[in-house]
Amino acid sequence: MIKPTIVLSTGGTGGHIYPAVALARELEARGYATAMIGQRGGMEERIAQTENLSFHGVSAGKIDRSRPDPKQVWRAARGFGEARAFLRRLRPAAVVGFGGFASLPGVLSAQALGIPTLLHEQNARLGLTQRLALRAARVVTTAFDEVRGVPAARARKVGMPVREARLERHEALSRLNLQSGPLTVLVMGGSQGSLMLNRNVPGILEGLFGKEGLYGDYSVQVIHACGGRWLPEMAARVHDLSWYKVTGYVDAVAAWSCADFAITRAGSSTLAEAAYHGVPLLMVPLPSAAEDHQTANARAVERAGAGRMIPEAELGSALPQAVLECIPQGARTRMSEAARSLSPAGAVQRLADEVERVLRGD
């Protein structure tokens, strides 16, 4: 029996896109055909090509409530028409929306056509695009126990789909050309890097550990994923620190597998990967993130005891002490255990189960 096609509507950032890729792989393993819909020319199209996934691009206007732009409204309207025509041709059995402004045309067009829709909310606060699709969605799946904006009766926690792969520590360190003895600190600013972390963290850590990367009896080493466009500037910044390695992009599985703790933003994918690998976090939420969702995410992790939130405005004063608190083994062990309690292991299977439940009409 040939199983039907499921469309995954997503776009904007890696936090919206990579869970869709994970679900596509799981559904394909169960015998379904999949297609991704998102913004033409956006990150989602590039990732779909890299992952060899079927992709249909549409126009997408970015919603900015503080400064409405008629051109963006027009692009969004055109995208709805393009998405509607695509869905009419493909006739999928269901559409799964992952949020981001580029997901709206696919999800709302499906609802207008009577195609069952599911939502997956990766953050601790429901985003604007998801709120617009909430009422007509059959199921709302979440990554957190509580998501502001989703009625508890409608929410089904499945977790955040991540790549479920680990390496032994020695293999991970070898892949990254790191040493086996020092404490390993991962600095990661998201899928495209963080200029704020790039410009501030090296100096803060050098102030703590000096030119030799030492603090008392401890030695440290840093692997900093700075984003490709910032690599030349960063390489020049740390060229005299042998213990501070920068890279445009990093093998994420290797990095998370050997990190003793990490300094990061608070995007949903980053937090989920840290939880899966049991890595304590020092989180610096992006203040301009939509709906301030990164602050909500970080607070949820902090409440669980798996990390500490540091407001961007307090980075210089608060990060040094937070780093020092992560050095003792006991503190890291406690936070690591708390992080594992948030682990999304099995999330993609649970999300696929929800899709099949909708298809059955349960």
Distance CA 210, CA 216 (A): 11
Question: Do the annotations mark residue 13 as ligand-binding?
Answer: yes
CATH match for 3-162+345-360 among 1.10.645.10, 3.20.20.10, 3.40.50.2000, 3.40.50.1580:
3.40.50.2000
> How many Cα atoms occupy the beta-carbon half-sphere of 150 within 13 Å?
30
Give the tokens for residue 167: 């390496």
- 294 has binding-site annotation: yes
123 labeled binding residue = yes
Please tell me whether 163 is known to bind a ligand: yes
Please give the Cα distance from 122 to 142 (Å, whole number). 6
Which two tokens mark 173?
A: 């360190």
Question: Is a pLDDT exceeding 90 seen at residue 344?
Answer: no
User: pLDDT band at 106, cuts 50/70/90?
Assistant: very high
* Distance between CA atoms of residues 101 and 188, nearest Å: 24
- At which residue do the structure tokens 């969004």 appear? 76
Q: How confident is the model at residue 73 (pLDDT cuts 50, 70, 90)?
A: low
Half-sphere exposure of 41 (CA within 13 A, CB side): 4
Per this entry, what is the length of the chain?
Answer: 362
- Supply the CATH classification number for the domain 169-342: 3.40.50.2000
Q: Distance from CA of residue 32 to its chain's centroid?
A: 25
**CB 86, CB 111: distance < 8 Å:** no
Is residue 61 pLDDT above 70, yes or no? no
How do residues 237-255 score in pLDDT, each as one tens digit?
Answer: 999 999 999 999 899 999 9
CB 129 within 8 A of CB 56: no
Q: What is the mean pLDDT of the chain?
A: 92
Residue 258 corresponds to which amino acid? C
Give the residue among 315, 298, 284, 327 at the shortest CA–CA distance from 185: 327
* Per-residue model confidence (pLDDT) at position 217: 92
Q: CA–CA separation, 123 vs 111, rounded Å?
A: 23
Q: Which residue has the higher pLDDT, 269 or 352?
A: 352
Calpha distance 190→173 (Å, rounded)? 21
**Same fold yes or no, 3-162+345-360 and 169-342:** yes
Confidence tier at 190 by pLDDT (50, 70, 90):
low
Please tell me whether 198 is known to bind a ligand. Answer: no
The H-assigned helical ranges of 113-242 are 128-134, 169-175, 195-209, 231-237
Question: Where do the domains of the chain lie?
Answer: 3-162+345-360, 169-342
The pLDDT value given to residue 289: 82
- Quote the strand ranges of 218-314, DSSP E: 218-225, 244-247, 261-264, 281-283, 307-309
Identify the pLDDT of residue 14.
83
The contacts of residue 85 (CB under 8 Å, 6+ apart) are none
In sequence order, what are the beta bridge partners of 271? none
